[in-house]
């Protein structure tokens, strides 16, 4: 059951082209929906039934999100796709944009029909030039073929879709920061409520979903919500794209059923480099607290299993660490990232991420103080849940996870002013 | 509200650049020209040796009917805009976790030694700037770097040699 949804055309010669996509039934669902004028409620019900949860990392049920829009309220509504893929370890949306852009376009058009929107944007991170060009080419093809634009396929339904290119800011992956960014502002998250469903892009009702979520829609409708749900496990419907990287032989993107054992995913990814021992796994992007290797080998890749181990499935970005890695150094790098990317709006995050980075750095540099571990716990706790967006929690989570599972290694650094395992990368 | 001198927008940029910016403006609702500011900054930066002067920021503000401060906010917030001169080629090396554990430290060291500069510096001949960047979403090809619009993945010293040789 691999490559059944977003990567189902990957075996084709040039799957990003319209004729290739259509050779596998591409745009048939959009055509069917428009021809039969499927009631939007039916579409939303089907998406709900599929158990699809937001693939960007938050895991909020997609169908439920759509149902918050007052479809018949007057005025413009928007469909926005979040292709601002930036969670460290994540590289799956890049492949959807490069290899199956038409399925994303079809999914967005169906979403627009379901919520009554006639305008949409796909926010692609600025560094993704090749994916951007692929997507733009696909847009052009879709417009020419009449799948986008005015009066699509003679149905009376209009949908214009454009790309917005980012400028390099992790925080813009947060949905309201992303909306600010489309509005031509710095990407600082908005206070919620109101949620985007009521006050979104340009102050109008907006749904904003991840690339993978929207690209899954055509197959969910074609084969039924139940079909999609049954691929996965309870509470984690469908298959999922896992980006797996780190100390493994065959890193890459794998579309596999939710609930697949981690051990199988590791095997697909070629196993550990140089036959080394698995030390820890960051299961859902760098914001997800680390899970020790032994524990991870017994877990399955789904929301509940990973949450039960005190972490989160997040964006499905799996970073595999072998026993040559110094966890202090790994945490130092991650903490630097959040310090660098904090937008500066909320004091606990702006100041706290700097504290976390500086304290972890001095431990790594052999200048740690006896009180530092308690200090890190304290600072992480003072950020968690006290900020407008989840970036603060994302910065605190890895610290809490590392100190929970690898506290001895940090203590050793402080006590001996040197590393327990040697510098990262086995140098 | 800012009080600015009336400007002739046609004189701000070349026809090609105006055309490109206008294409982005057309994507957004009529009263949201500001949405095109990120695209405008990128287009001008690309045409202007890779960086944006304050004069250019002011011109973008005038062109899109924005207060200059709103353009400064955007230009300083996003990491891809350069507000000081940079080398002809900007080498952006990812050093985030997946790249780090696959040897990005050694890649940076090798680049620094070959180019004779440190991260954040530009070679004396103005040819190359070396920049550390955060995760570029290509961790499957770690370690990796970006030059211009191009990603280079699974880096080795040999690959870096050939990349550097290819830079004009």
Cβ count within 10 A of residue A309 = 17
Q: Token digits for A333?
A: 């790098």
Q: With a cut of 70, say whether residue B4 has pLDDT above it.
A: no
CA dihedral in degrees (B96, B101, B106, B112; nearest 10)?
A: 0
Cβ-Cβ contacts under 8 Å, A321 against chain B? 101
Does the interface ipTM go beyond 0.90? yes
Question: For residue B168, what pLDDT is reported?
Answer: 85
> Mean pLDDT for chain A?
96
A52-73 pLDDT per residue, tens: 999 999 999 999 999 999 988 8
Tell me what percent of the residues of chain A surpass a pLDDT of 70. Answer: 99
Enumerate residues 129 to 168 of chain B having a beta carbon within 8 A of any beta carbon in chain A.
133-142, 146, 149-151
CB contact under 8 A, A424 and B100: yes
A28-57 pLDDT per residue, tens: 999 999 999 999 999 999 999 999 999 999
Question: What whole-number distance in Å separates Cα of residue B25 and Cα of residue A169?
Answer: 22
Per-residue burial over A111-138, b if 16 or more Cβ lie within 10 Å, else e, is bbbbbbbbbbbbbbbbbbbebbebbbeb
Chain A nearest C-alpha distance from B62 (Å) = 15
Q: With a cut of 80, say whether residue B139 has pLDDT above it.
A: yes
- Partnered with residue A272 across adjacent β-strands are A248
Q: With a cut of 50, say whether residue B60 has pLDDT above it.
A: yes
- Give the helix/strand (H/E) hosting A338: helix A327-341
Q: With a cut of 60, say whether residue A387 has pLDDT above it.
A: yes
Question: For residue A232, what pLDDT is reported?
Answer: 97
Question: What whole-number distance in Å separates Cα of residue A177 and Cα of residue A172?
Answer: 5
Q: Are strands A252-257 and A119-124 parallel, antiparallel or unpaired?
A: unpaired
Q: With a cut of 90, say whether residue A25 has pLDDT above it.
A: yes
- One-character DSSP codes across B23-48: HHHTTS-TT-GGGGHHHHHHHHHHHT
Question: For residue A426, what pLDDT is reported?
Answer: 39
Cα three-residue angle B110-B115-B117, rounded to 5 degrees: 95
A420 pLDDT tier (thresholds 50, 70, 90): confident
B38-47 pLDDT per residue, tens: 999 999 999 9
Q: With a cut of 70, say whether residue B63 has pLDDT above it.
A: yes
Question: For residue B23, what pLDDT is reported?
Answer: 98
A110-129 pLDDT per residue, tens: 999 999 999 999 999 999 99
Instruction: Summarize the confidence of residues A102-115 as an average pLDDT.
Output: 98
Question: For residue A72, what pLDDT is reported?
Answer: 87
CA dihedral in degrees (A173, A175, A179, A185; nearest 10)?
A: -50
A146-189 pLDDT per residue, tens: 999 999 999 999 999 999 999 999 999 999 999 999 999 999 99
Spacing of C-alpha A373 from chain mean position: 30
B3 pLDDT tier (thresholds 50, 70, 90): low
Best residue of B51, B139, B146, B152 to probe chain A, by most A CBs closer than 10 Å: B139
Chain B nearest C-alpha distance from A246 (Å) = 5
Cα three-residue angle B64-B69-B73, rounded to 5 degrees: 95
A419 pLDDT tier (thresholds 50, 70, 90): confident
Question: Does residue B83 sit at the A interface (CB-CB below 8 Å)?
Answer: no
Question: For residue B2, what pLDDT is reported?
Answer: 53
A76-88 pLDDT per residue, tens: 999 999 999 999 9
With a CB cutoff of 8 Å and minimum separation 6, the contacts of A234 are: A304
Residue B71 · residue B60 · CB < 8 Å: yes
Cα three-residue angle B38-B42-B48, rounded to 5 degrees: 145
With a CB cutoff of 8 Å and minimum separation 6, the contacts of B121 are: B129, B130
Q: Token digits for B161?
A: 């040699």
- Partnered with residue B145 across adjacent β-strands are B93, B152
B113-123 pLDDT per residue, tens: 999 999 999 99
Question: What whole-number distance in Å separates Cα of residue A162 and Cα of residue A123?
Answer: 9
Which one, of B62, B32, B80, B23, lies nearest residue A179 by Cα?
B32
A336 pLDDT tier (thresholds 50, 70, 90): very high
Question: For residue B7, what pLDDT is reported?
Answer: 81
Quick one: DSSP state of residue A395? H
Chain B nearest C-alpha distance from A222 (Å) = 30
Q: With a cut of 70, say whether residue A424 has pLDDT above it.
A: no
Q: With a cut of 70, say whether residue B130 has pLDDT above it.
A: yes
Q: What domains are defined for chain B?
A: 9-77 (1.10.10), 89-166 (3.40.30.10)
Instruction: Summarize the confidence of residues A362-367 as an average pLDDT.
Output: 96
First to last CA, chain B: 45
Question: What whole-number distance in Å separates Cα of residue B147 and Cα of residue A110?
Answer: 37
- Give the 3-state secondary structure of residue A113: helix
Instruction: Summarize the confidence of residues B116-136 as an average pLDDT.
Output: 97
CB contact under 8 A, A184 and B66: yes
Question: What whole-number distance in Å separates Cα of residue B102 and Cα of residue A384?
Answer: 30
Chain B nearest C-alpha distance from A100 (Å) = 17
Dihedral angle sign, alpha carbons of residues B114, B116, B119, B121 = negative
> Mean pLDDT for chain B?
95
Q: With a cut of 90, say whether residue B144 has pLDDT above it.
A: yes
Enumerate residues 14 to 73 of chain B having a beta carbon within 8 A of any beta carbon in chain A.
27-29, 32, 34-39, 41-42, 64, 66, 70, 73
Instruction: Summarize the confidence of residues B51-65 as an average pLDDT.
Output: 97
Instruction: Give backbone dihedrals phi and psi of A99, rounded to 5 degrees, phi first.
Output: -110, -20
Tell me what percent of the residues of chain A surpass a pLDDT of 90. Answer: 96
Which one, of A335, A419, A330, A326, lies nearest residue A379 by Cα?
A335
Prediction pTM value: 0.96
Chain B residue with CA closest to A184: the answer is B35
Q: With a cut of 50, say whether residue B76 has pLDDT above it.
A: yes
Return the half-sphere exposure (C-beta side, CA atoms, 13 A cut-off) of residue A127. Answer: 28
CA dihedral in degrees (B140, B146, B149, B153; nearest 10)?
A: -30
Question: For residue A418, what pLDDT is reported?
Answer: 86
Question: For residue A16, what pLDDT is reported?
Answer: 98
Which one, of A165, A92, A96, A163, lies nearest residue A128 by Cα?
A165
- One-character DSSP codes across A220-267: HHHH-HHHHHHHSBTTB-SEEEEEEEESBSS-EEEEEETTEEHHHHHH
Instruction: Summarize the confidence of residues A229-247 as an average pLDDT.
Output: 97
Which one, of A50, A42, A84, A48, lies nearest residue A65 by Cα?
A48
Cβ count within 10 A of residue B132 = 17
A425 pLDDT tier (thresholds 50, 70, 90): very low
A271-281 pLDDT per residue, tens: 999 999 999 99
Question: What whole-number distance in Å separates Cα of residue A399 and Cα of residue A334?
Answer: 9
């Amino acid at each position: 059951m691999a490559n059944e949804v977003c990567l189902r055309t990957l075996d084709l010669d040039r799957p990003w082209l319209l004729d290739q996509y259509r050779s596998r039934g591409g745009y048939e669902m959009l055509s069917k929906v428009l021809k039969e004028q499927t009631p939007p409620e039916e579409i939303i019900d089907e998406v709900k039934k599929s158990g699809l949860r937001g693939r960007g990392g938050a895991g909020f049920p997609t169908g439920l999100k759509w149902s918050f829009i007052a479809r018949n309220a007057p005025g413009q509504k928007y469909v926005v796709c979040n292709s601002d893929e930036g969670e460290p370890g994540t590289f799956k949306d890049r492949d959807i944009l490069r290899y199956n852009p038409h399925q994303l376009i079809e999914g967005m058009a169906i979403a627009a029909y379901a919520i009554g929107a006639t305008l949409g944007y796909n926010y692609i991170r600025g560094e993704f030039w090749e994916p951007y060009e692929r997507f733009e080419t696909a847009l052009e093809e879709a417009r020419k073929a009449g799948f986008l634009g005015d009066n699509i396929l003679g149905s009376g339904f209009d949908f214009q879709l454009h790309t917005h290119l980012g400028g390099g800011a992790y925080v813009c992956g947060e949905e309201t920061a992303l909306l600010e960014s489309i509005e031509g502002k710095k990407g600082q998250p908005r206070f919620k409520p109101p949620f985007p469903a009521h006050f979104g892009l340009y102050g109008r009702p907006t749904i904003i979903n991840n690339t993978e979520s929207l690209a899954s829609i055509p197959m969910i409708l074609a084969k039924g919500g139940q079909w999609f749900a049954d691929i996965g496990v309870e509470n984690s419907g469908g298959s999922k794209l896992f980006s797996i990287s780190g100390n493994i032989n065959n890193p890459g993107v794998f579309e596999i059923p939710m609930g697949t054992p981690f051990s199988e995913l590791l095997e697909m990814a070629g196993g550990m480099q140089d036959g080394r021992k698995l030390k820890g796994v960051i299961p859902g992007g760098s914001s997800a607290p680390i899970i020790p290797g032994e524990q991870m080998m017994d877990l399955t890749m789904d929301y509940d299993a990973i949450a039960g181990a005190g972490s989160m499935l997040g964006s499905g970005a799996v970073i595999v660490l072998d026993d040559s890695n110094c966890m202090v150094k790994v945490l130092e790098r991650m903490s630097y990232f959040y310090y660098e990317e904090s937008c500066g709006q909320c004091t606990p995050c702006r100041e706290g991420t700097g504290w976390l980075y500086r304290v972890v750095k001095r431990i790594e540099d052999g200048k740690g103080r006896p009180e530092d571990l308690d200090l890190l716990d304290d600072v992480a706790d003072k950020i968690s849940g006290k900020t407008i967006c989840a970036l603060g929690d994302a910065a605190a989570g890895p610290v809490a996870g590392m100190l929970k599972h690898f506290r001895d290694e940090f203590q050793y650094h402080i006590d001996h002013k040197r590393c327990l395992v040697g510098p990262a990368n086995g140098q | 509200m800012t009080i600015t001198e009336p400007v002739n927008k046609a004189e701000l940029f070349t026809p090609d650049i105006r055309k490109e910016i206008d294409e982005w403006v057309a994507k957004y609702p009529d009263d949201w020209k500001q949405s095109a500011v990120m695209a405008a900054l990128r287009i001008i930066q690309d045409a202007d040796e890779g960086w944006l002067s304050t004069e250019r920021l002011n011109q973008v503000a005038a062109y899109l009917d924005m207060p200059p401060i709103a353009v400064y906010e955007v230009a300083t917030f996003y990491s891809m805009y350069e507000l000081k001169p940079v080398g002809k080629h900007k080498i952006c090396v990812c050093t985030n976790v997946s790249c780090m554990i696959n040897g990005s430290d050694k890649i940076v060291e090798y680049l620094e030694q070959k180019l004779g500069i440190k991260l954040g510096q530009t070679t004396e001949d103005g040819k190359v700037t070396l920049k550390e960047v955060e995760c570029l979403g290509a961790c499957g090809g770690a370690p990796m770097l970006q030059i211009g619009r191009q990603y280079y993945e699974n880096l080795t010293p040999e690959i870096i040699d050939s990349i550097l040789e290819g830079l004009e």
